[in-house]
Structure 1
Amino acid sequence: MTIEHLTPTDLEARKARAITAATSAGRALGLEVTDPKVLHDVFSVVVHLAPSPVVVRVPVVLPPGRDVASVAARQARELAVVSWLADRGLPIVRPSPLVPRAPVQRDGLSMTFWEFVEVDASRQPDFIAEAALAAGLHAALRDYPGELPFLSPMTAVPTFLARLEENPGLIAPADLERARSEWAVLGPVLSSREGFAKAFPNAGIQPIHGDAPSYNILRTASGVRYADFEEVTLGPAEWDLAFLGPEGAAVYNEAAARTGVRPLDPAVLRVMETAGMLQMAACHALVPQLPMLAEGLAPALQRWRTMPFAGGLG
């Protein structure tokens, strides 16, 4: 299937549609909205419904085949996990208490409502030191009782690869060939709990953030808060720690020892890092929807080309 490439005019129209939908949905829920402000516009349009202390996240860049119903199901999982963590006192960006804790559909879009958190711009990120926060999060998530899919961030990879095959020019032929060959090895390991357990019988899985928790925190005057659980999933802890290097792994392991979480398995970490890079390569299928992605993915693509094939598996 040929993918339509969006123009700058298309992108502005998409953002405007998301703002209108978020504003309309907020007002329908009884919120005062006089000055909506866009905080982010990448994979989602994130809108502060000022003056109400509410932020709406509206996903607009979606994998092929993901419809409103599947987006809403994913959002419902996120809201359930975050609500459960918030109720246990974890420092987290919570669902807004001013509206029901459920996804809202408007104008063909599905959105979620969150509390507005004032970010302290003077606090600089330290991704290595903040790897310790992932251990605390994993300790809290271990007991989550709800159902979650296994490594859901990887489920779109086969579809992405098919779209790249059908749309030459989004990625170099040699990169696409490597991606397909690598998925042939990694797919059976990453597509089910059983496949993963067969490859790594001693590496347990549990609920995890799913999208690099060290990078998805908000720094406020009162401390850091975990955020953005859109990819929450079952999987090995190593998925959350990919790309932080030996220093980040050491920081995590030290914190894990204090919280009773298992240390990282170097072999699993290598495979998760390769899987993450493969996912980024496959995400070139989204470039027509998000042109800025091509430049953003370029460093990862360069690094992936130098990494051992399939993380040493196969």
Structure 2
Amino acid sequence: MSASMTTDQRAARTTRAVAAAVAAGRERGLAVTEPIVLHDVFSVVVHLAPSPVVVRVPTVLAPGMDLDGLADRQRTELAVVSWLAEHGTPVIAPSPLVDVEPVHRDGFSMTFWHYVDRDSSAEPDYVRNAALVADLHLALREYPGELPFLSAAEPKTLTASFAVLAERPDLIAPAELERAQHEWELIEPLVSSRAVFDAAFPDMGVQPIHGDAPAYNIVPTTNGALYADFELTTLGPVEWDLAAFGPEAADAYDAAAAGVGLRPLDRRVLRFVEAVGMARTIACLALVDELPLLREGIEPAMQQWRSQPFPDDLLG
């Protein structure tokens, strides 16, 4: 069995990520004298102060993801967010001070973003934010670039993660893993093939979506709310972006969507994407050695999953 990274090892990983971000910034002509770590979970997010630039350095990669695959995903994110910014959508945009492309350095692939002043007085309001997602979906409908279908589901990564967990009964009981793998086998064809999805959910349609809980990734700033973190941007049903936020948030989205001419959420599709999200959550147990806090964070969702049967109506 693998051993969890120690606190010192995780701190050293953060130090390496910050050093790589600082060096990459200086190589691109940025003044960096006071790097400040803003966030450190799956990625280390560093403000290259005094330059108005933030670097996001992913440090915890799921099984099956390498730097080349990560860079491809980052290029998609940069292209989508650049387009949104150019068309007036309020986003945290790529930094205009460096080339808009992923940067490889010292074993990391990183992206550079414009620094914004957060409004520290703002309280999270995910119901209000869910309504704002309708405006984002309206803007994304016009995105002209090509996007893969439901790449945010990361089917290869999930399959690889479950294979890792098969060797780790200390992380998940074998009977629970068997159930999770069986459920994943049932729904995996629907995220891996648009044709299969369309057959299961006719007339729903797909479009460019944020891909990673946009109601959570709306940043309150001194200049208003900004959409952020488009790392998993993909083509998919709009329900993907509202999964797990609850009925009140879904109702808020529906009301806002009606106001801008978009369809309401389909509750069966919503249950489907929430089932996929649950599979992704369980798969995250494969990352506990690198990020021990995940184990405690995942447990409430696991308890809910244990108490609920798989929604059979998803498969027609």
TM-score by length of 2: 0.96
Matched, 1:16 2:15: yes
Tell me the equivalent position of 2:267.
Answer: 266
Q: Trace 1:217-296 onto structure 2 (pairs within 5 A).
A: 217-296=218-297
Q: Distance in 2 between matches of 1:37 and 1:18?
A: 12
Question: Post-superposition shift, 1:3?
Answer: 4.8
Tell me the equivalent position of 2:305.
Answer: 304
Instruction: Tell me the SS of whatever aligns to 1:128.
Output: helix
- Which range moves more in the overlay, 184-193 or 15-24? 184-193
Partner deviation per Cα, 1:228-260 (whole Å, 9 max, x = no partner): 000111111111001122211111011111112
Question: Structure 1 residues 288 and 258 mapped into 2: Cα distance closer, same or farther (>3 Å)?
Answer: same
Q: Trace 1:1-314 onto structure 2 (pairs within 5 A).
A: 3=2, 5-155=4-154, 156-310=157-311, 312-314=313-315
Unaligned runs of 5+ in 2: none
The question of whether the paired residues in 1 share the 8 Å contact of 2:55 and 2:112 is answered with yes
Partner deviation per Cα, 1:119-177 (whole Å, 9 max, x = no partner): 11111111012111111101100111112122222222111111111222111223211
The question of whether the paired residues in 1 share the 8 Å contact of 2:164 and 2:286 is answered with yes
Q: Report percent identity of matched pairs.
A: 58
Partner deviation per Cα, 1:270-292 (whole Å, 9 max, x = no partner): 11112111110111111111111
Question: Post-superposition shift, 1:310?
Answer: 4.4
Question: Post-superposition shift, 1:221?
Answer: 2.1
Q: Distance in 1 between matches of 2:136 and 2:6?
A: 40
Look up the equivalent residue of 1:209 and give its one-letter code. H
Partner deviation per Cα, 1:204-233 (whole Å, 9 max, x = no partner): 111110111000011012210000000111
Q: Distance in 1 between matches of 2:314 and 2:182?
A: 12
Question: Structure 1 residues 62 and 9 mapped into 2: Cα distance closer, same or farther (>3 Å)?
Answer: same
Look up the equivalent residue of 1:127 and give its one-letter code. Y
Question: Post-superposition shift, 1:190?
Answer: 1.5
Look up the equivalent residue of 1:207 and give its one-letter code. P
The question of whether the paired residues in 1 share the 8 Å contact of 2:130 and 2:252 is answered with yes
The question of whether the paired residues in 2 share the 8 Å contact of 1:91 and 1:226 is answered with yes
Instruction: Tell me the SS of whatever aligns to 2:126.
Output: coil
Moved over 4 A (4+): none
Instruction: Tell me the SS of whatever aligns to 2:305.
Output: helix
The question of whether the paired residues in 1 share the 8 Å contact of 2:268 and 2:314 is answered with no
The root-mean-square deviation of aligned C-alpha atoms, in Å, is: 1.3
The question of whether the paired residues in 2 share the 8 Å contact of 1:40 and 1:47 is answered with yes
The question of whether the paired residues in 2 share the 8 Å contact of 1:104 and 1:112 is answered with yes
The question of whether the paired residues in 1 share the 8 Å contact of 2:31 and 2:49 is answered with yes
Look up the equivalent residue of 2:121 and give its one-letter code. S
The question of whether the paired residues in 1 share the 8 Å contact of 2:93 and 2:113 is answered with yes
Unaligned runs of 5+ in 1: none
Q: Distance in 2 between matches of 1:115 and 1:311?
A: 45
Q: Distance in 2 between matches of 1:245 and 1:311?
A: 20
Q: Distance in 1 between matches of 2:46 and 2:72?
A: 21
The question of whether the paired residues in 2 share the 8 Å contact of 1:138 and 1:237 is answered with yes
Partner deviation per Cα, 1:168-195 (whole Å, 9 max, x = no partner): 2111223211111101111111212111
Q: Distance in 1 between matches of 2:265 and 2:254?
A: 7
